[in-house]
Amino acid sequence: MTDPVLTFTPNGIYCPAGDFYVDPWRPVDRALITHGHADHARSGHNRYLATHAALPVMRHRLGDITAEGIAYGEIRQIGGARVSFHPAGHLPGSAQIRIEVDGCVWVVSGDYKTTDDGFCEPYEPVRCHSFITECTFGLPVFTWAPQRDVAQQINAWWQTCVDEGKTALLGAYSLGKAQRLLSLLDPIGPILTHGAVEATNDILRTQGYALPETQHVTPDLDVKSLKGALVVAPPSALGGQWVRRFRNPSTAFASGWMQIRGIRRRRGMDRGFVLSDHADWPGLQDAIRETGAETIYATHGYTDIFARWLRDQGYDAHVLETEFGDDDGAGE
């Protein structure tokens, strides 16, 4: 077998046999994109390849790009590399990218979660020799409660806000997390959305993803007359002038980082709900084990700690420095 299939360059993760990059962070000729978040799908590339489900949001974010769609599981020969995209369970259209050259298989996971949220395409394990994994939450403290329990907590908080005459403002990343939350809400009252969230809602609805009815918060919307409302917005919007239009607001934030009390306090929210679109500690272990890979590259997260733990388990583990960020909200 020829190895390595991938090399690591200043532009990003590169496949010499196919002359393409995966989620490059600097402009390149050909980019294969795992999903539409801004740290993975960047502007400036000459050609893009992503799943059919990921492309509409990418076009909305990046404008007039030269892009081609691919179905999950479809095999594409690019130069000397056989490429296919497989569900990552992170958000609608997200993918792991399988790359095979001369019988050697690598998988670039992008961002992923292994539990099925009932909204996006569920994670699919992919066998490989080498696996590039995120480890955003690569510590034992990050173990997620069942989604139904978190949904009950959020709906109970919303009902309490209604009973106390408050407006419930829920912070969530505009692409993926916000729509997942919307799919979990009980119809306690009207649901209002920030423009960034509603733009994504419109795109996903057009693609056939089921979302409840929402109202875009525009300057002419009389929000104070909509009693019992819940407002979904990017966390960055909850700390500025935008929230002043709402009567007696109570703020909350949904993120895996809410597992850590110190981060909850620094966010300055009234409530924090632990809900992430990334794999938790058990999920990371399950994903790596199911690949059958012997060589693991850990990116963006607790990389040093996680790679050291993997080596203790007998893996050939390395830290891969990338320019991917955190889309779970801590940096917003």
- The DSSP letter of residue 232 is E
pLDDT at 328: 55
At residue 330 the predicted structure's pLDDT band, cuts being 50, 70 and 90, is: very low
Complete edge-to-edge strand list for the sheet that includes strand 20-22: 7-9, 12-15, 20-22, 30-32, 47-51, 67-70
241 versus 8: the higher-pLDDT residue is: 8
Read off the pTM.
0.95
Residue 327 has pLDDT above 70, yes or no: no
C-alpha torsion angle, residues 251, 257, 260, 261 (rounded to 10): -10
At residue 4 the predicted structure's pLDDT band, cuts being 50, 70 and 90, is: confident
pLDDT at 268: 72
Rounded to the nearest 5°, which phi and psi values hold at 9? -125, 170
Q: What is the pLDDT of residues 60-99, one digit of tens each?
A: 999 999 999 999 999 999 999 999 999 999 999 999 999 9
At residue 200 the predicted structure's pLDDT band, cuts being 50, 70 and 90, is: very high
Q: What is the pLDDT of residues 226-272, one digit of tens each?
A: 889 999 999 889 877 888 888 899 999 999 999 987 666 656 789 99
Residue 310 has pLDDT above 60, yes or no: yes
Residue 291 has pLDDT above 90, yes or no: yes
Please give the angle made by the CA atoms of 24, 124 and 207, to the nearest 5 degrees.
75
Domain ranges in the chain with CATH number 3.40.50.10890: 147-273
Domain ranges in the chain with CATH number 3.60.15.10: 7-141+278-319
In b/e form, how buried is each residue of 216-251, taking b as 16+ CB within 10 angstroms?
ebeeeeebeebebbbbbbbbebbeeebeeebeebbb
Cα 147 to Cα 266: distance, rounded to the nearest angstrom: 24
Q: By percentage, how much of the chain surpasses pLDDT 70?
A: 95
> Would you give the distance in Å from CA 307 to the centre of its chain?
22
Tally of CB atoms within 10 A around 326: 20
Nearest C-alpha neighbor of 230 from the set 162, 183, 179: 162
Q: By percentage, how much of the chain surpasses pLDDT 90?
A: 85
Q: Which fold has domain 7-141+278-319?
A: Metallo-beta-lactamase; Chain A (3.60.15)
At residue 2 the predicted structure's pLDDT band, cuts being 50, 70 and 90, is: low
Instruction: Retrieve residue 28's tokens.
Output: 């390149």
**117 Ramachandran zone, left/alpha/beta (phi>0; psi -120 to 50):** alpha
Of 11-15, 29-33, 242-246, 322-326, give the lowest mean pLDDT range.
322-326
pLDDT at 261: 74
pLDDT at 331: 39
Rounded to the nearest 5°, which phi and psi values hold at 21? -115, 155
pLDDT at 227: 87
Question: Are the C-beta atoms of residues 34 and 20 closer than 8 Å to each other?
Answer: no
- CATH number of the structural domain 147-273: 3.40.50.10890
